[in-house]
């Protein structure tokens, strides 16, 4: 065979045979897990280092040994001595002190803080006003790894206030089957990321959610896995279509979403129960729990919702959504009302037992 000068033939890499492919995949999995552990360990070391630096500065400042000027000199010294790392500016050194001062008396969060990136820790420190609010977002971020951009949106959407100020509207059967649903579902959700106009259709909401699945799952919870839109179920000779179908890993249940652009109406639950029966009979796997239905509407009267859910025999939830970031002051007022009413209930209960 004649070869052209200056060119060499290289053998094409052969694809591994089926048995080898699975073995190679195991090795790749080991490497991937190792890299993840290494990154997590490195992050933990960084946060622990910042904690110790913050502790040192806090001690010097509280003893009136150091002032603002000394911390600035320290930053200059560290940047010159340690080849100018960006994380050691005077502004960041003060953040380390604040980090230590805020959490030094909160041992239950100590290990969790080291699982978060420094940027997420800063966001939670700077944007939250109470330790309860900070703990909420710290636990949320450690349960579901979140980028700084995602964390900022979550906090700006006032998820804490929306989660605490009102209990989720759940049917009795859903509470019985899944007691943890109290902490998984919420009374209200923010769909501001869809960019919906005020005058929108149910199709607009559905298509927007599918386009923005990542943000939708961040808002609703990382354990949701998308299955399909306008999911077809056949009953008899007729086809019916569910707006959205998800699977929830922790609950081990199919979750059907029915989207409504108007206020909740009791008759919506009858249609939802029909869909759940079809899912349980024809779609649900034997090892899965009964399917759950969520009616997501643009508004609701809480008393109407309570009456409607009282006798329903399906695991269902009713929530509303907003298309814009909720008003911060309004949510804070509702939060204060919630805590005030909780305190009054505790006083009545305590007084009745005396």
CATH of residue 298's domain is 3.40.1350.10
Q: Find how far residue 124's CA is from the centre of its chain.
A: 14
Strands (E), 54-175: 169-170
Q: Domain range for residue 152?
A: 19-160
The verdict on residue 2 lying in a domain is no
Is the same domain home to 175 and 313?
yes
Is the same domain home to 188 and 114?
no
Please tell me the total count of domains within the chain: 2
- Rounded to 10 degrees, what is the CA torsion of 152, 155, 156, 160? 170
Q: Of 160, 180, 212, which marks where a domain is finished?
A: 160
Average pLDDT for 293-309: 94
pLDDT at position 280, please? 96
The verdict on residue 346 lying in a domain is no
Is the same domain home to 116 and 209?
no
> Which of 7-21, 249-263, 272-286, 319-333 has the lowest average pLDDT?
7-21
The verdict on residue 251 lying in a domain is yes
Average pLDDT for 170-176: 94
Q: Write the burial class of residue 280 (CB in 10 Å: 0-12 exposed, 13-18 middle, 19+ buried).
A: middle
Residue pair 314/292 in contact by the 8 Å Cβ criterion: no
For 186, the 3-state DSSP assignment is coil
How sure is the predictor about 273, in pLDDT bands with cuts at 50, 70 and 90? very high
Handedness of CA 14, 15, 20, 24 (dihedral sign): positive
Q: Of 160, 192, 227, which marks where a domain is finished?
A: 160
Q: Find how far residue 83's CA is from the centre of its chain.
A: 38
* Residues of the chain above pLDDT 70, percent: 81
Is the same domain home to 146 and 185?
no
Name the more confident of 349 and 128.
128
Average pLDDT for 256-284: 95
How sure is the predictor about 83, in pLDDT bands with cuts at 50, 70 and 90? low
Is the same domain home to 139 and 184?
no
**189 is written with which tokens?**
């959700």
Is the same domain home to 142 and 220?
no
Phi–psi pair at 45, nearest 5 degrees: -65, -40
Average pLDDT for 155-169: 83
Compute the distance between CA of residue 33 and CA of residue 64 in angstroms, rounded to an integer: 47
Is the same domain home to 45 and 140?
yes
The verdict on residue 275 lying in a domain is yes
pLDDT at position 341, please? 46
pTM, two decimals, is 0.65
Q: Which of 32, 245, 222 is nearest to 140 (CA)?
A: 222
For β-strands 169-170 and 316-322, DSSP reports them as antiparallel
Q: Of 132, 160, 188, which marks where a domain is finished?
A: 160
Is the same domain home to 198 and 155?
no
Phi–psi pair at 240, nearest 5 degrees: -130, 150
Is the same domain home to 150 and 173?
no
């Amino acid at each position: 065979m004649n070869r052209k000068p200056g060119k060499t033939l290289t053998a094409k890499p052969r694809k591994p045979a089926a048995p080898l492919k699975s073995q190679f995949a195991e090795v790749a999995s080991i490497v991937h897990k190792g890299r993840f552990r290494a990154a997590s360990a490195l992050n933990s070391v960084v946060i622990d280092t910042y904690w110790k630096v913050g502790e040192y500065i806090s001690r010097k400042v509280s003893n009136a040994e150091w002032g603002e000027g000394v911390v600035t000199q320290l930053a200059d010294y560290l940047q010159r001595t340690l080849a100018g790392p960006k994380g050691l500016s005077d502004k960041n050194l003060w953040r380390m002190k604040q980090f230590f001062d805020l959490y030094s008396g909160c041992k239950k969060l100590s290990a969790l803080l080291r699982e978060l990136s420094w940027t997420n820790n800063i966001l939670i420190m700077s944007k939250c006003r109470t330790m309860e609010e900070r703990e909420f977002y710290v636990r949320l971020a450690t349960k579901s790894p979140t980028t700084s951009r995602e964390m900022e949106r979550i906090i700006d959407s006032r998820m804490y206030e929306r989660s605490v100020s009102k209990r989720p509207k759940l049917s009795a059967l859903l509470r019985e089957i899944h007691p943890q649903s109290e902490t998984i579902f919420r009374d209200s959700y923010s769909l501001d990321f869809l960019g919906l106009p005020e005058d929108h259709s149910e199709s607009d909401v559905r298509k927007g959610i599918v386009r923005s699945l990542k943000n939708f799952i961040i808002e609703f919870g990382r354990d949701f896995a998308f299955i399909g839109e306008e999911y077809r179920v056949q009953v008899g000779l007729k086809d019916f279509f569910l707006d959205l179908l998800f699977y929830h890993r922790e609950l081990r249940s199919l979750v059907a979403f029915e989207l409504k652009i108007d206020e909740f109406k009791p008759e919506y639950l009858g249609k939802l129960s029909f869909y759940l029966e079809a899912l349980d009979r024809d779609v649900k796997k034997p090892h899965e729990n009964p399917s759950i239905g969520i009616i997501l509407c643009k508004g609701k009267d809480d008393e109407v919702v309570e009456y409607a859910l009282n006798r329903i025999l399906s695991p269902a939830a009713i929530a509303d959504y907003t298309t814009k970031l909720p008003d911060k002051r309004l949510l804070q007022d509702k939060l204060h009302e919630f805590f005030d009413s909780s305190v009054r209930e505790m006083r009545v209960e305590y007084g009745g037992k005396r």
